[in-house]
């Protein structure tokens, strides 16, 4: 839990996996991911979303760094000095020459403290190197200094790349989980989340909230006449009218299920303007509907409920029930019409819309 509470990625070095086919030592990296920025250990633990785990072969990290481009004849040993009482050799990169090393000439070069680890690289020359170069220490300082920085930079980029990939995938999955696949509108799951949140906000801030349930008129008959593929195109066109009808980023257009849709309108005490705009858009779209008994084009029946002054006693399920009652009245009134219910001071008042049929 150290990584979670500190907010700092942690490394475990020198591991070997059970299914690993070779003996190459590994780095195991643990990177905490949070729901939102957090500054204290308590906040980090509370906002912890999960971890990104990465496994890296030390040999591959060395081969990708500048250290692998060193001259022939230098043996490199990576040492973990995080625990001064128990230093560990993590990896030995051989000299790439058959000549023996020169004992007593090794140089230890510290590396930057990184993700909870303190390392150093021990460089030991071979006789071949000493015969061709006059200053071993200059080579080591230049090579290890630049190479270790490149090694750490490469390692960091690899980890961050995996973090970014996972975060992008999480965003994509979240979008898919909250979006209707056919119309691109919010789905029922997203609707339930936002409705609960907006009702709480309405009560807290003493603002109005309107919900419209919308049912396409005679959609079963539409499918019977035009076919289910054309029916899908019809639903997509209807969804586009819904998108155009709403005016603010906080408004939410929803595919509630089948041919039933919803509009959630926060801070809206008079939703008549949005509903009128939707009816006008449907008329202009002019989607043919030969099987309709109310118009020659696609129409909808709409039930709207408005809660004023943030009434605390209304739950999400009760608000939906009120909207459904209004929708039922609209259908019984002959379809292609709107019924409104206003809940004010915990009393229900019903009004018949004057927008009966725009045709």
140/239 same-domain check? no
Cβ atoms of residues 73 and 97 within 8 Å: yes
Does residue 54 lie in a domain region?
yes
Does residue 131 lie in a domain region?
yes
Res 143: pLDDT: 47
Q: Which of 6-20, 221-235, 300-314 has the highest mean predicted lDDT (pLDDT)?
A: 221-235
Give the active site residues: 259
Is residue 353's pLDDT more than 90?
no
Query: What CATH number did the domain enclosing 19 receive?
Result: 3.30.450.350
Q: Which of 144, 175, 206 is the last residue of a domain?
A: 175
Does residue 280 lie in a domain region?
yes
- CA gyration radius for the chain? 34
* Dist CA 214 CA 256 (whole Å): 9
* Dist CA 343 CA 345 (whole Å): 7
Is residue 270's pLDDT more than 80?
yes
294/335 same-domain check? yes
Which tens digit of pLDDT belongs to each residue from 108-132?
A: 777 766 667 787 777 777 776 666 6
* Dist CA 78 CA 76 (whole Å): 7
162/208 same-domain check? no
Does residue 183 lie in a domain region?
no
* Dist CA 53 CA 252 (whole Å): 37
146/268 same-domain check? no
Query: What CATH number did the domain enclosing 264 receive?
Result: 3.30.70.270
Res 142: pLDDT: 46
**Which three-class secondary structure string do you get for the chain?**
CHHHHHCCCEEEEEECCCCCCCCCCEEEEEEEEECCCCCCHHHHHHHEEEEEEEEEEHHHHHHHCHHHHCCCCEEEEEEECCCCCCCEEEEEECCCCCCCECCCCCEEEECCCECCECEEEEEEEEHHHHHHCCCHHHHHHHHHHHHHHHHHHHHHHHHHHHHHHHHHHHHHHHHHHHECCCCCCECHHHHHHHHHHHHHHHHHHCCCEEEEEEEECCHHHHHHHHCHHHHHHHHHHHHHHHHHHCCCCCCEEEEEECCEEEEEEECCCCCHHHHHHHHHHHHHHCCECCCCCCCCECCEEEEEEEECCCCCCCCHHHHHHHHHHHHHHHHHCCCCCEEEEEEECCEEEEEECCCCCCC
143/231 same-domain check? no
Does residue 143 lie in a domain region?
yes
Which residues is 17 bridged to in the sheet? none
**Torsion angles phi and psi, residue 295, rounded to 5:** -165, 165
126/244 same-domain check? no
Which tens digit of pLDDT belongs to each residue from 292-329?
A: 999 999 999 999 999 987 666 788 999 999 999 999 99
Q: Which of 134, 152, 175 is the last residue of a domain?
A: 175
Is residue 285's pLDDT more than 80?
yes
Q: Which of 220, 215, 266 is nearest to 238 (CA)?
A: 215
Is residue 350's pLDDT more than 50?
no
Indicate the number of domains in the chain: 2
129/50 same-domain check? yes
162/223 same-domain check? no
134/47 same-domain check? yes
Is the pTM value of this prediction over 0.85? no
Is residue 146's pLDDT more than 50?
no
166/198 same-domain check? no
138/261 same-domain check? no
Is residue 57's pLDDT more than 90?
no
64/149 same-domain check? yes
CA distances from 118 to 25, 63, 79, 88, 244 (A): 17, 21, 9, 11, 58
* Dist CA 278 CA 228 (whole Å): 24
**Torsion angles phi and psi, residue 51, rounded to 5:** -130, 150
Structure tokens belonging to residue 175 = 């979008």
Give the range of the structural domain holding residue 30, as residue numbers without chain letter: 2-175
* Dist CA 304 CA 319 (whole Å): 10
Does residue 197 lie in a domain region?
yes
Does residue 181 lie in a domain region?
no
**Exposed, middle or buried by CB within 10 Å (0-12, 13-18, 19+), for 168?**
exposed
Does residue 180 lie in a domain region?
no
Q: Which of 117, 143, 175 is the last residue of a domain?
A: 175
């Amino acid at each position: 839990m150290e990584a979670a509470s500190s907010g700092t990625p942690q490394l475990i070095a020198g591991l070997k996996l059970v299914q690993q086919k070779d003996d190459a030592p590994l780095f195991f990296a643990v990177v905490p991911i949070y729901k939102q920025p957090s500054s204290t250990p308590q906040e980090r633990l509370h906002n912890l979303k999960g971890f990104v785990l990465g496994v890296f072969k030390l040999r591959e990290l060395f081969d990708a760094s500048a250290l692998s481009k060193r001259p022939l004849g230098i043996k490199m040993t990576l040492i973990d000095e995080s625990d001064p009482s128990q230093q560990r050799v993590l990896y030995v990169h051989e000299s790439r020459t058959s000549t023996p090393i020169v004992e007593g000439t090794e140089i230890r070069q510290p590396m930057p403290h990184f993700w909870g680890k303190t390392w150093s690289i021990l460089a030991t020359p071979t006789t071949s190197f000493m015969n061709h170069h006059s200053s071993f220490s200059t080579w080591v300082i230049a090579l290890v200094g630049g190479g270790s920085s490149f090694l750490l930079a490469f390692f960091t980029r690899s980890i961050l790349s995996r973090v970014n990939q996972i975060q992008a995938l999480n965003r994509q999955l979240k979008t898919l989980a909250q979006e209707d696949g056919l119309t691109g509108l919010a789905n029922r799951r997203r609707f339930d989340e936002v409705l609960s949140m907006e009702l709480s906000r309405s009560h807290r801030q003493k603002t109005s909230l309107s919900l419209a349930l919308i049912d396409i008129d005679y959609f079963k008959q539409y499918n019977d006449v035009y076919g289910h593929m054309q029916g899908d195109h019809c639903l997509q066109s209807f969804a586009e009218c819904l998108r155009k009808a709403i005016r603010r980023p906080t408004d939410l257009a929803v595919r509630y299920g089948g041919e039933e849709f919803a509009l959630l309108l926060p801070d809206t005490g008079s939703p008549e303007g949005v509903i009128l705009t939707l009816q006008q858009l449907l008329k202009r779209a002019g989607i043919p509907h030969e099987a309709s008994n109310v118009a020659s084009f696609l129409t909808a029946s709409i039930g709207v409920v408005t809660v004023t002054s943030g009434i605390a006693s209304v739950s999400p399920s009760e608000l939906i029930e009120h909207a459904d009652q209004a929708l039922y009245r609209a259908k019984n009134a002959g379809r292609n019409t709107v019924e409104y219910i206003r809940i004010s001071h915990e009393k229900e008042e019903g009004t018949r819309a004057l927008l009966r049929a725009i045709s």
